[in-house]
Amino acid sequence: MPKKQGKIYLIGAGPGDPGLITVKGLEAIKEADCIIYDFLATSRLLEHAKKGAESIYVGKKGRFESVSQEEINALIIERARKGKTVARLKGGDPFIFGRGGEEAEEIVRAGLAFEVIPGVTSAVAVPAYAGVPLTHRGLSSSVTFITGQEDPRKEASRIAWDRILPGSGTLVFLMGWKNLPLIAQRLIESGWAPSTPVAMIRWGTLPKQVTISGRLDNIGKLSMEKDLKPPVVTVVGDVVGLRERLNWFESKPLFGRRILVTRALEQAGEFSRLLEGQGAEAITFPTIRTLPPSSWKGLDGAIKRLSSYDWAIFTSVNGVKYFFERLRKSDKDLRELKGVKVCAIGPMTEKAIMALNIRVDLTPKEYRAEAIIAALGRKNIKGKRFLLARAQKAREVLPVEIKRLGGSIDVAASYRTVRPSIPAGGLEKLLLNGGIDIVTFTSSSTVTNFLSLFKKAEAGEALKNVRIACIGPITADTARSHGLNVDIMPKEYTVPALAAAMADYYRKK
């Protein structure tokens, strides 16, 4: 039987913003056994890889080359010949100055199957994120994409400079940072007005995007003054003038802000996406990790007598997750909750319960344990039995107060939180050098675990110029008890509200 050969996907990863990957490209990444990716293909996309998939970085940055093109070609073919599905992840679009054609030719010579999945090219996306439409009625009806890596002084240039005449519409140069003065000179010599608007955009589509606007006769000088470095996309033409009115991305309230996300890794993604939607750069630094409880004895006992409770109370999404996973492993299902009323501490916990097709009977208006007590206090709970599925270590407000009100309660540890072994590395230096604008805390544990990375005096010094954002009053009180000033806290104690509160804070400033 002939040996099975793999398949190769040449995938355009887009210009940087991970949200610009195509649906088809994302599906290929999820399918791949091996992902071979470039410097400009964001590593965030690797989060979608299946468990056990191999990832190989072959990125090239400027004149520094980690792996030659020939070695990349050989690597793609070697993995596919082993029967693997290979995702060759390239920045932008693989067939626009991406050497994807060269790789495809080598694959064909090797007799292997391949598929090209086009990507959003930086030539189009980066100007759009800078507020520069490449065509516009009355200003430009054509676009020319030109490599900027070819030296315009070469005698045998493959670029027809004599045909790039004034009135040729919009010009987009990719990778032209080093040759910009020569490019500008060549265009002026070809008849382009020295006053022609030019925009240079670095790290386009990312929160660290930087845009410099000028003219052909001064853009080289401006680039040097601003110390602009690659990767850069350069746009030449009258459409650049529209940026003043259409600059939507850099006008976002959190644009350019670097925000530290300290919540658990499995929950950080949602928060990061919300922050990035407001223009921020989210830096994931989990200071908390959820694990099963030290013993299942308490929860297993509660599950056996589940139908005997009047109320089941859940105080976190994690509590819901671990409780119902254990319920299924106990060979039981949702029918065990028949007749049991369900209480959720807040809307996110409520959403997690409702996703299991379970009705929530009570969600307090204020998302904290005290509010649950206030709501239950208005009901006749004397003699009622309660189950509280929560973290192994938590505040004792609910158990104490329910007993005071005449109810009985079983506290079942559904999960526990620990501090992951994370190297602090250059975090303190990053904080001291102004590399972080906001540190976010979504629970008291994230506060204490984060501060445990520093000596007391060091923490105060590292955070003195950093804004502190807390999800709610309990977390904020913990932060203040450690000497931190809390700058931002939403009125609604949820992650979406916290992201919105940070945006409002900078919008007002």
| Choice among 17, 33, 93, 175 that is catalytic | 175
pLDDT band at 389 (very low <50, low <70, confident <90, very high): very high
Does 60 participate in catalysis according to the annotation? yes
Choose the weakest-confidence range: 111-120, 143-152, 234-243, 259-268. Answer: 143-152
pLDDT at 320: 95
- Token digits of residue 201: 């955009």
DSSP sequence for 117-149: E----HHHHHHHHTT--S-BTTTBS-EEEEESS
Q: What is the DSSP letter of 92?
A: B
pLDDT at 477: 95
Overall pTM surpassing 0.85 (yes/no): no
Q: Helices marked H in 42-135 — which ranges?
A: 69-81, 100-109, 122-129
Examine the pLDDT at 362 and tell me if it is beyond 80. Answer: yes
pLDDT in tens, 205-240: 999 999 999 999 999 999 999 999 988 999 999 999
Q: Mean pLDDT in the chain?
A: 90
Q: What mean pLDDT comes out for the span 340-367?
A: 91
DSSP sequence for 274-288: HHHHTT-EEEE----
CA distance 204 to 175: 13
| Choice among 17, 33, 38, 93 that is catalytic | 38
Does 1 participate in catalysis according to the annotation? no
Q: Which residue has the higher pLDDT, 67 or 92?
A: 92
Report helix, strand or coil for 174: strand
CA distance 398 to 365: 16
Q: Which residue has the higher pLDDT, 46 or 42?
A: 46
Is the Cβ–Cβ distance between 446 and 287 less than 8 Å? Answer: yes
pLDDT at 167: 82
CA distance 411 to 396: 10
pLDDT at 304: 93
Is the Cβ–Cβ distance between 177 and 229 less than 8 Å? Answer: yes
Q: What distances in angstroms separate CA 116 from CA 13, 60, 74, one per listed residue?
A: 12, 21, 18
Examine the pLDDT at 380 and tell me if it is beyond 90. Answer: no
CA distance 408 to 410: 7
CA distance 160 to 129: 29
Q: Which residue has the higher pLDDT, 333 or 205?
A: 205
Domains, the chain, ranges and CATH? 7-120 (3.40.1010.10), 124-246 (3.30.950.10), 258-288+421-508 (3.40.50.10090), 291-418 (3.40.50.10090)
Examine the pLDDT at 150 and tell me if it is beyond 80. Answer: no
Does 38 participate in catalysis according to the annotation? yes
